[in-house]
Amino acid sequence: MKLEGEDQVLLSQLQVAEVAQLVNSEVFTWIDISISKTDAEPFKQLMIEDLDFHPKTVEDCLEPTTHLQAKMDEEQEYKFISFLYFEGNPRENLIVRELNIYFSRTYVITVHTHDIEDFSKLFRKPPRHIVEYRERAILFLHHIIDMVTDSFTATLRQIQNYTDELEFEVFDAKRPRLRANPFSRRRDSTADMKFILRSRQSLVMMRRTLSSESSLLNQIIREYNYDGAPESAEEIAIYFSDIRDHVLNYLEIIESEDRSLNHVMEVHSLVTGYQTNEKLYILTIMSTLMLPLTLITGFWGMNFDNLWWNHTPNGIYMVVAVMMMVTISLIAFFRSRNWI
């Protein structure tokens, strides 16, 4: 996209010579480059040989980050930014996405290895006030970072909704779906714990990324907010301060959700432990009642002729009566101790 005055000119399928001409012109230009493994060598040739970008920054564009850290490298003629965001379902697995940005006084170049069509539609609609400034590149950079940063809202809202649902479910011991299968309770409890752990892992990833992006934004703000800075520079600092405030707000939400998940995990462990103890308690009572009955039947089941009531016609009834007396006595004893 080329911005001439107040008019936007959309260009597509540019040749290498056209890209180099746009980058070296005085007209502000935004160039979006989507690369794949098959485009690696042509991309390197374009960025290093034709546009004279540092090879290390080009390698950063091709290799996905593993440190979840946003960064900004300053070169003599341009700056290079690696900005991160997330896609996917935090209940399953978050995918880290990296958007690399080259920007100078007259151009912004975005480089990515994945599809950003949804973002591109937003990037093509910059605020109209950009045309009022000479520093159009830095304001367009603000527009891009602002759109990418806003994407964290949906992910955090998903985690908040899932956490709220889980808080209700942890205390709900009579979920209808548990009645059909006696083993579903255990599977459901395991699923809840897996979700808690995945959500906390997602929050850790987002906290690390947003903390680095907050530092990056502070770095940009300091460049434009200094003693004796012109009014236009101070306004640019204000724009980026607004994004930084959003990032700090996200960090506060993450801290709050992390505490909530930690509380839910503790309550979940208590409820699960209580349910386990309740089951063991019932099984213990049943085992205690069955133990003397097993002893009695084993004793009278021995093959000896001189056992009591062995040849008595009503011997079986007398043994059953003893078993019933023992069972009733144990139950009465347990009740007297308030054990049942």
pLDDT tens for 282-300 read 899 999 999 999 988 888 8
Q: What is the pLDDT of residue 57?
A: 92
Q: Among 90-104, 133-147, 174-188, which stretch is predicted with the lowest mean pLDDT?
A: 174-188
Mean of the pLDDT values across residues 324-335?
90
| Cα 70 from Cα 91, distance rounded (Å) | 24
Confidence of residue 130 (pLDDT cuts 50, 70, 90): low
Confidence of residue 278 (pLDDT cuts 50, 70, 90): confident
Q: What is the pLDDT of residue 134?
A: 64
Q: What is the pLDDT of residue 250?
A: 94
| CATH superfamily, region 2-274 | CorA soluble domain-like (3.30.460.20)
| 170/143: higher pLDDT | 143
Mean of the pLDDT values across residues 266-281?
84
Confidence of residue 219 (pLDDT cuts 50, 70, 90): very high
* Residue 166 DSSP symbol: H
Mean of the pLDDT values across residues 326-334?
90
Total H helices, total E strands in the chain? 8, 7
CA 310, 312, 313, 317: dihedral to nearest 10 degrees?
Answer: -70
Task: Tell me the CA distances in angstroms from 118 to 13, 85, 140, 204, 309, one per residue in order.
Answer: 19, 13, 17, 26, 88
Give the strands of the sheet with 79-89, arranged side by side. 7-9, 2-4, 28-34, 107-112, 93-103, 79-89, 71-74
Confidence of residue 171 (pLDDT cuts 50, 70, 90): low
Instruction: Give yes or no for a contact between 253 and 156, defined as CB atoms under 8 angstroms apart.
Output: yes
- Mean confidence (pLDDT) of the chain: 82
Q: Which of 182, 44, 180, 30 is nearest to 106 (CA)?
A: 30
| 114/310: higher pLDDT | 114
Q: Among 114-118, 227-231, 325-329, 334-338, which stretch is predicted with the lowest mean pLDDT?
A: 227-231
| 160/310: higher pLDDT | 160
Mean of the pLDDT values across residues 317-326?
89
Relative to beta strand 28-34, strand 2-4 is: antiparallel
- pTM for the model stands at 0.75
The distance from CA 117 to its chain's CA centroid, rounded to whole angstroms, is: 22
Q: Among 29-43, 92-106, 277-291, 311-325, which stretch is predicted with the lowest mean pLDDT?
A: 29-43
